[in-house]
Amino acid sequence: MLGISRKTAIKAAAATGASVVVSVAIVLLIVPVLGGHPDGPGFWMSMLCPLVIAGPASTYQFHQKETIARQRDALACMHVELEDAHRALKELHADLRTRARTDSLTGGLNREAFFSAFEAAAPGSTGPAALIIADADHFKKINDTFGHLVGDEALRRIGAAISGCVGGGDLWGRIGGEEFVVFLAGQDRQGAIHTAERIRRSVSECGMIADGRPVPVSVSIGIAWAQGPFDPADFFRQADGDLYRAKSGGRNRIVMDGREVGAAAA
């Protein structure tokens, strides 16, 4: 009734009853002391006044208190929901940022993200650094022979091989259809060759099978290495030139400074 809850009505009735009892008790105790008689209109007024005053007042007070408590609880729930929504939005933003930087097929950085990080690292490079460019061999033939789904799986295998051969602080990504690149900061010359050889061997030994037939997956690799500061464009051109030499020299091999290196050269 009038939006008054049962709980509020009970509290108000109890408060009103208590007021009536106190008022009647006062009349019964005080009036005789003053020489009067606690009967007649005075007695009835001692009951009526608390009913008329305390009843509505206590009902209003308890109703307001309950309304405030209900609103406070609602605000607390809204605050929790807002925090949850903010957390979900933050996670979504982080996920979208990761997706915007990641190659969806291989899990490495995409072209824009890799070159952005690579170019940002160049000015502060004071120690040794290496750039490895790997390109899948005869990739068109894989697509033509086994289909594009197998070609996609071959790229995933190459990405997994690279990811397993580099450290957590190294940069790697897919920058073209079948072209991958790795930037190794602080890596000496032999360390760069060793990493490239591990990648080459891991790819060639991936053991990929399609329709019961082995899929020949391998990569050719070019390496650029510098002891100190380097120009990103020149560094990339150097590695790309050696990649071309690895391709023209028979594929599934590594070329650095114009000559073949690694286990395949031994």
What are the tens digits of pLDDT across the range 108-137? Answer: 999 999 999 999 888 766 789 999 999 999
Reply yes or no on whether the pLDDT at 39 is more than 70: no
Q: Which of 34-43, 108-117, 246-255 has the lowest mean pLDDT?
A: 34-43
**b or e along 26-42 (b: 16 or more beta carbons within 10 Å of the residue's beta carbon)?**
ebeeebeeeeeeeeeee
Domain boundaries, the chain: 6-101, 111-265
Q: Does 146 or 25 have the greater pLDDT score?
A: 146
CATH architecture group of domain 111-265: 2-Layer Sandwich (3.30)
Tokens of 68: 């405030």
Q: How far apart are CA 181 and CA 229, in angstroms?
A: 19
Confidence of residue 66 (pLDDT cuts 50, 70, 90): confident
Reply yes or no on whether the pLDDT at 257 is more than 60: yes
Q: Which of 161-165, 167-171, 216-220 has the lowest mean pLDDT?
A: 167-171
Confidence of residue 4 (pLDDT cuts 50, 70, 90): confident
Q: What is the pTM of this model?
A: 0.68
Quick one: pLDDT at residue 100? 73
Confidence of residue 1 (pLDDT cuts 50, 70, 90): very low
Catalytic residue among 91, 112, 178, 205: 178
Q: How far apart are CA 259 and CA 16, in angstroms?
A: 102
178 noted as active-site residue: yes
Quick one: pLDDT at residue 234? 95
Quick one: pLDDT at residue 213? 94
- Average pLDDT in the chain: 85
Q: Which of 97-111, 136-150, 202-216, 230-244 has the lowest mean pLDDT?
A: 97-111
